[in-house]
Amino acid sequence: MVHKIYVGSYTNSVTTLSFDPSTGSLQVIGTTEAGPNPSWVASHPTDKSLLFASNETDEGKIVLFKRDDDGKLELLQSVWSGGAGTAHFAVGEKEVVAANYSSGTLLTIPLQLSPPALLAPPNQPVKFDFPGTGPDADRQEASHPHQVAVHPSGEQLLIPDLGSDKVWTLERNGATSSWEVKGELKTKAGHGPRHLVVKGETVYVLNELESTLSTYPLPAAGAKESACLSLLTPPTQPAKGMLGAAVLLTESTAAFPEPLIYASNRNDPHPEGDSIAIFTTADSAAGFSLVKEVRTGLNHLRAVTFGGDEDRYLVLGGLHGGGIKVFERTEGGRDLKEVAHLSAGAVDKPTSFVVY
């Protein structure tokens, strides 16, 4: 099967790639204007004809596209995201929830499926309260929500806030249908939580400013850190400017029965580029532990995305060099093998991916 990959970037367009696993071909087949800095892209959970992007700018936007049968995109709409620097958003069945990094706000935008449309929000943006600064005065001078993570139950949002060293927990108000802050998980000072995943009774929080992955028990509000592991193979220590970037969780499948966690690390001075760290989960026989660190040959990794049957492939790109690559999961997912490479310059400043 030939896959289509949609690439978000710090440019003015979303780029469409074609990936053929049988030949290792990875090539650009189209670009679509999307407004400035469409850095995060995501699809609708059930209607795969709908694709979304964020404009990570001073006046943030959420952009809605329609995909045709050939995978071509038509821009339908662009609406305000509720703040500045829209770094991430989550798409639900009937809403898009946007996290605005620069303004420290979160907005829920109603979504109509037929015909597809983003509707006027009935509520004002949520403003995360964080007076003062964190240990990193340059990066933690204010609240900086970096992800909208939906709890597997669907009843909570978990919002890692790099600026405040917190993960905010939000629940829906039954009367207004809006999401409201109900609690917080405090990470260690200076961690700078960026992204997270949830498995079972454990939250795994990727700490951008320290290139580590921490675990916390559920419920998240008030939880204390259970463990914290480096994204680098011991005894290597993070170099100055090194930053954790993304974290993904795989589910158990026939080909890959062991659930694993994959975390990306960027700005690594290693001659073989940035790395992907692979971890076992806290509820596995081995417990929470680092399995392997895989070098990618890329410079400044940001988002990484699974695709293909049973999430066989991992797509990633270097914002500052190395191009875009596809890796195949091997050894039951405990290792990665490069199977396709699009050279640097073919897509400028790639940041995120959606695979069909």
Q: Is the confidence at residue 132, as pLDDT, over 80?
A: no
- Please name the amino acid found at residue 314: L
pLDDT digits (tens, 9 = 90+) for 221-263: 899 999 999 999 988 888 889 999 999 999 999 999 999 999 9
Longest dimension (CA), the chain: 55
pLDDT digits (tens, 9 = 90+) for 182-196: 999 999 999 999 999
Angstrom distance (rounded) from CA 347 to CA 326:
14
At 342 the pLDDT is 98
At 231 the pLDDT is 97
pLDDT digits (tens, 9 = 90+) for 18-47: 999 999 999 999 999 999 999 999 999 999
At 283 the pLDDT is 94
pLDDT band at residue 174, thresholds of 50, 70 and 90?
confident
Q: Cα angle at 206 between 45 and 47, to 5 degrees?
A: 5
Mean pLDDT of 186-212: 97
Angstrom distance (rounded) from CA 205 to CA 279:
13
- Write phi, then psi, for 130 (nearest 5 degrees): -150, 90
User: CB–CB of 277/263 below 8 Å?
Assistant: yes
Q: What does the mean pLDDT of the chain come to?
A: 96
Using the CB atoms, write b or e for 195-227: b if 16+ within 10 Å.
bbbbbeebbbbbbbbbbbbbbbebebbebeeee
At 61 the pLDDT is 98
Q: Is the confidence at residue 297, as pLDDT, over 90?
A: yes
Contacts of 311 (CB under 8 A, 6+ apart): 250, 251, 253, 256, 329
Number of helices (H), then strands (E), in the chain: 0, 29
Angstrom distance (rounded) from CA 111 to CA 45:
12
Percent of the chain at pLDDT > 90 equals 94
Mean pLDDT of 266-273: 96
pLDDT band at residue 270, thresholds of 50, 70 and 90?
very high
Q: Is the confidence at residue 348, as pLDDT, over 90?
A: yes
Angstrom distance (rounded) from CA 264 to CA 294:
10
Total-model pTM: 0.97
pLDDT band at residue 220, thresholds of 50, 70 and 90?
confident
